[in-house]
Amino acid sequence: MVTWFDESRLDDERALGSADLRLRTLAESGARVRREAVEAAEAVEAAVSQAAQAGAPRAVVAGGPDSRLLRAVLEPTCPVPFVAWPQPGLPGWAGGLDLVVVLAPDGTDPGTASAVAEAVRRGCQLVVACPEGSMVAEHAAGRWTTILPVRTGDPLATAVTVLTFLDRAKLGPQTDADRVADALDRVAFACSPHRDLAVNPGKTLAIAVADATPVVWGGSVLAARAARRVAELLRRTSGRATVAGDVEHLLPVIEATSSRSVFDDPFAEGDHPARAVLLVLDDGSEEPVVQEQRARLLAAAGERGVHVETVAAEAGTEVAQYAELLLVGTYAAEYLGLGLVQD
């Protein structure tokens, strides 16, 4: 059975209708961020007040599977030591002088429940974003615990809620839920299924990677996090190899691509390996190291005739830029899956 990509399906109403629920869920990303921000506002104020009374923590520990996103946001700016702890439990040294923050969008993960129960037992200041009445919420009950109620199950919306608290507690960068939601709304409009191929960045990106091996790179810490997530989505959708990583990991892939000749016949019979396509997630970082790494990748791609696609984030804050890059990549993965058909 042969799998091939039919780009006409991306503008076909019947094909798009088969993916309506998934596309509608993506379009509502901004609304979920706004909803969680409004419904958790009172709890965020309570958590900020409690943090002010407790004073500056010795360290901040982020627990749960989604802790890596908090690490990408907080590590460069957090004024106290920060540790991401995605596995069950907590570091052995964590105690009453430390702040533990946990993201639990659905509140059902046993490992996360174990981490919050351990935080309560040790007397840590604990802030948990989870559904009220969930298993995680029940394990988090304690004197020094604040629950930030979430209801949508959206990991990004949950993260924005926690980052808003950390911003207000002067432990993280500026996080404006409205600006994140606005960025997501702009992407939803630009990548809407009702916009055709010529003006739709999600569809354009899906076409670019359809018959290639995507090599995804983001220069800053958050852009690199988005690159890994986008690569995972493309890999899951297509079942094909997709690579994301640092420059040192990606350069060998690009340099191993055979140079393209103008005399090559793209329709020649035979088993031809898919060529690489470089996908750059650009959040506008002006760090000299990031600029130098980007130049190296682009130079290598130019030498080997590797096609380059760039997704540029226009949002003002770091978290909003991350959300924008991730949602464009998510739309592209959805359109890629829609266009793949089997003979």
User: What does the pLDDT average to over 301-329?
Assistant: 93
Q: How far apart are CA 61 and CA 118, in angstroms?
A: 12
Q: How far apart are CA 22 and CA 180, in angstroms?
A: 21
Q: Is 38 buried (19+), middle (13-18) or exposed (0-12) by CB count in 10 A?
A: exposed
Residues 281 and 230 sit within 8 Å (Cβ to Cβ)? yes
Cβ atoms within 10 Å, residue 49: 13
Q: Name the one residue in this structure whose structure tokens are 């702890």.
A: 85
CATH number of 31-176: 3.40.50.10490
Residues 315 and 323 sit within 8 Å (Cβ to Cβ)? yes
Q: Phi and psi dihedrals of 203, rounded to 5?
A: -70, -40
Predicted local confidence at residue 52, as pLDDT = 92
Is the pLDDT at 324 greater than 50? The verdict is yes
Is the pLDDT at 303 greater than 90? The verdict is yes
Lowest mean pLDDT among 160-164, 221-225, 237-241, 266-270: 266-270
pLDDT in tens, 181-203: 999 999 999 999 999 988 999 99
Identical fold at 3-19+193-262+273-342 and 31-176?
yes
**Side-by-side strand order, sheet with 307-312:** 243-244, 213-218, 276-282, 307-312
Lowest mean pLDDT among 95-104, 159-168, 307-316: 307-316
Predicted local confidence at residue 29, as pLDDT = 97
Is the pLDDT at 139 greater than 50? The verdict is yes
Q: Tell me, what amino acid is at 190? A: A
The alpha carbon of residue 78 and the mean position of all alpha carbons in its chain are separated, in whole angstroms, by: 20
Q: Which residues lie closer than 8 Å to 13 by C-beta, 6 or more apart?
A: none
Give the pair of three-digit tokens for residue 268. 């020649």
Q: How far apart are CA 185 and CA 180, in angstroms?
A: 9
Predicted local confidence at residue 96, as pLDDT = 93
- pLDDT-based confidence at 314, cuts 50/70/90? confident
Predicted local confidence at residue 275, as pLDDT = 85
Q: Please give the CATH superfamily to which domain 3-19+193-262+273-342 belongs.
A: Glucose-6-phosphate isomerase like protein; domain 1 (3.40.50.10490)
- Give me the residue spans of the domains in the chain: 3-19+193-262+273-342, 31-176
- pLDDT-based confidence at 64, cuts 50/70/90? confident
Q: How far apart are CA 243 and CA 209, in angstroms?
A: 12
Q: What angle do CA 194, 198, 204 make, to 5 degrees?
A: 90
User: What does the pLDDT average to over 66-75?
Assistant: 88
Predicted local confidence at residue 270, as pLDDT = 46
The alpha helices in 62-154, defined as continuous H runs, are 67-74, 110-122, 135-140
Nearest Cα to Cα of residue 335 among 26, 2, 1, 3: 26
First-to-last alpha carbon distance for the chain, in angstroms, is: 6
Q: How far apart are CA 213 and CA 276, in angstroms?
A: 5
Q: Is 3 buried (19+), middle (13-18) or exposed (0-12) by CB count in 10 A?
A: exposed
pLDDT in tens, 249-299: 999 999 988 765 554 555 444 445 578 999 999 998 889 999 999 999 999
Q: What angle do CA 30, 129, 103 make, to 5 degrees?
A: 85
Q: How far apart are CA 133 and CA 343, in angstroms?
A: 48
Q: Phi and psi dihedrals of 188, rounded to 5?
A: -60, -40
From residue 343, how far is each of 3, 90, 335 by CA, in Å?
6, 50, 19
